[in-house]
């Protein structure tokens, strides 16, 4: 050990560093790259593509705590971590190397919905700056990050997604304790995530279809209302109605979150500066997800219950929902 540094301090520092790397490069950067890639490959069918992609995301995200809990019960947490590290690290590296391509123009292809295939194919052979200009659909304005930050729509959607990250992470981190407060066994509370993931996957498909036909602000309103109701339902998990409200509320909000996080940025602000805009959004979500668990933890430590944190945080999505009526697409109308 380092001089003056105890085992506990060193372990705590390593845990913080590893968790930071996991959040930054795992849930943060990897999620941002995946959503950005779909947005660069699809235009008119972007919502449908996001909905199909979201099936795997929704099922994986919502079912992973229950699956990990089962693996820990089968083995132990150390073996489970090693198994998941090998599965994700090796498996995703190979898949990325085989399948990852930056844009259709790079491959001599065109986005769906493009009118001129020759122009799109030629863009792959142009210098970078000229090629990037070809990334936009006809009549689409490309907002810079600074311009996007100057719109009300950006901040409403950004805060809405941040609120989703904050609350779902907080609930997931404290789910076993929340279940104990309602008299539920550990395995029983984790099983609620399975039907939640099924609802989320279905809503992801429906939301993808809706995003191609309706204004995005209405999806944000539904997401915020569902998030608030699902959060309040955690206080009533001792009754069937509360469990159903939890499953439906968080299932709908998680499904719509997957759609909005991928569709709204290219639709509202164009593809040219999509990385920077998505990056700021991802930084917001990572920050919000980091403060959610300690907020709930402090509330429980002070009061012996989660009700105070739940009721306070349930108001925040409702405020965003009310303001979302002004979250209009800043693209010029034709």
In DSSP notation, 227-250 reads HHHHHHHGGGTTSHHHHHHHHHHH
Cα dihedral value 300, 303, 309, 310, nearest 10: 90
Answer yes or no: is pLDDT of 221 > 60.
Answer: yes
Contact partners, residue 321, CB within 8 Å, separation at least 6: 220, 221, 224, 225, 228
Q: Judge whether 47 and 259 are in contact, CB under 8 Å.
A: yes
Answer yes or no: is pLDDT of 71 > 80.
Answer: yes
Residues 154 and 220: their CA atoms lie apart, in Å, by 12
What does pTM read for this prediction? 0.72
Residue where the block lists tokens 């409200």: 245
- Distances 311 to 34, 103, 233, 299 between C-alpha atoms, Å: 34, 44, 10, 11
Q: In this predicted structure, what is the pLDDT of residue 87? A: 82
pLDDT digits (tens, 9 = 90+) for 271-321: 788 878 888 888 888 888 888 889 999 999 999 899 999 999 999 999 999
CB atoms closer than 10 angstroms to residue 180: 13
Answer yes or no: is pLDDT of 242 > 80.
Answer: yes
HSE at residue 119, side-chain half, CA atoms within 13 A, is: 12
Q: What 3 state SS string does 23-45 have?
A: HHHHHHHHHHHHHHHHHHHCCCC
pLDDT band at residue 246 using 50, 70 and 90 as cut-offs: very high
Across the range 123-127, mean pLDDT stands at: 40
């Amino acid at each position: 050990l380092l001089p003056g540094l105890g085992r506990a301090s060193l372990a705590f520092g390593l845990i913080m560093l590893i968790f930071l790397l996991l959040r930054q490069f795992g849930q943060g950067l990897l999620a941002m790259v995946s959503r950005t890639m779909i947005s660069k490959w699809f235009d008119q069918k972007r919502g449908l593509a996001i909905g199909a992609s979201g099936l795997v995301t929704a099922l994986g995200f919502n079912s992973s705590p229950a699956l990990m809990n089962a693996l820990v019960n089968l083995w132990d947490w150390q073996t489970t971590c090693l198994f998941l590290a090998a599965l994700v690290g090796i498996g995703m590296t190979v898949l990325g190397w085989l399948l990852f391509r930056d844009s259709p123009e790079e491959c001599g292809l065109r986005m769906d919905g493009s009118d001129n295939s020759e122009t799109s194919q030629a863009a792959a052979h142009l210098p970078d700056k000229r090629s990037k200009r070809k990334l936009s659909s006809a009549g689409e304005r490309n907002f810079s990050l600074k311009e996007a930050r100057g719109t009300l729509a950006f901040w409403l959607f950004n805060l809405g997604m941040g609120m989703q990250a904050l609350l779902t992470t907080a609930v997931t981190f404290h789910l076993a304790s929340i279940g104990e407060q309602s008299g539920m066994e550990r395995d029983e509370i984790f099983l609620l995530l399975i039907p939640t993931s099924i609802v989320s996957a279905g809503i992801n498909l429906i939301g993808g279809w809706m995003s191609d036909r309706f204004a995005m602000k209405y999806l944000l309103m539904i997401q915020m209302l569902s998030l608030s109701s699902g959060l309040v339902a955690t206080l009533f998990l001792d009754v069937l109605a509360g469990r159903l409200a939890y499953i439906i509320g968080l299932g709908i909000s998680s499904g719509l979150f997957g759609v909005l996080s991928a569709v709204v940025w290219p639709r509202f602000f164009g593809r040219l500066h999509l990385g920077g805009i998505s990056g700021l959004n991802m930084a917001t979500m990572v920050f919000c997800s980091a403060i959610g668990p300690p907020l709930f933890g402090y509330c429980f430590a002070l009061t012996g219950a989660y009700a105070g944190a739940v009721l306070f945080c349930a108001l925040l999505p409702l405020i965003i929902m009310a303001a979302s009526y002004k979250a209009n697409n800043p693209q010029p109308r034709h």
